[in-house]
Amino acid sequence: MKLSAVHLARVLAFVESFDLNPRGAVFYPDLVKGMAEKFGFKKFPQKPEDFDEIKGLEFIGGTWGDVTVEKLTIYQNGLLLDTRVSTAESERIIEEGLAWGVKEFGLVYEAKMIKRRGYLSNLTFYSDCPTLLRSNSPVSKLNERIYDSVSKISGDKTPWEPIVLTFHSEAIPRKPVGAAFTIQRRAETSFSENKYYSEAPLPTGEHIAMLEAFEADVIASIFKS
């Protein structure tokens, strides 16, 4: 497996904004202005209607050191930060940004205040296995039957392949938490490129490791059969 690109490395750190400013000593517009200057955000809250923590205060297009911050959103109960490097880098920027806010504006923050984190990792990769999504014998047989039936009707001999594999938790008794784990053929690319897109509610490193393990298992199953 070869990583093609990280499309999104999102971290959601659950911490109440009231806890970061427990006595209201920090003037929100000053904090927002300071953040916009520190990160160099191209878009940030400026009008009164932009300061809605339920919808989220949105900052877009900034940098922290040598890392581009695609988006930062402040909600009542959490902070969301997107980069295209890794979720580890996104987490680091949240931690360092909060520490900066403590020093420069008097925010109240300790690492233990973040009780829970959510992740979303989107990436593309090239697989060394040309049959990554159809290695299972029943799936391969079904694929052949579909191709034979459709090609007889249409006269089109274009190859057929499984194009998506999706996993998620059961929706009953409550809605699933987080995104599904998906592996799918990259849109607008030929099957021969063996290029895939994958999304997971996991840290970037764990996401990549899981894809590598899956690919290794598929290759091993081919040699066994």
9 contacts: CB under 8 Å, gap ≥ 6: 82, 83, 84, 85, 86, 87, 89, 90, 121, 204
33-42's contacts with Cβ under 8 Å and 24+ in sequence apart are 34/104, 34/105, 35/59, 35/72, 35/97, 35/101, 36/62, 38/100, 38/104, 39/63, 39/64, 39/69, 39/72, 39/97, 41/69, 41/72
For residues 84 and 7, the answer to whether their CB atoms sit within 8 Å is yes
**For 132-159, how does the pLDDT look when each residue is reduced to its tens digit (9 = 90+)?**
998 888 898 999 999 999 999 999 988 8
In the chain, where are the structural domains located?
10-119, 123-224
**For 5-33, how does the pLDDT look when each residue is reduced to its tens digit (9 = 90+)?**
999 999 999 999 999 999 999 998 999 99
> What span, in angstroms and rounded, lies between the C-alpha atoms of 108 and 106?
6
Check: CATH 3.30.310 for 10-119? yes
Q: Higher pLDDT residue, 196 or 171? A: 196
This prediction's pTM = 0.92
CA angle 209–218–148, rounded 5-degree value: 135
Confidence of residue 172 (pLDDT cuts 50, 70, 90): confident
pLDDT, residue 221, reads: 86
Average pLDDT over residues 217-221: 91
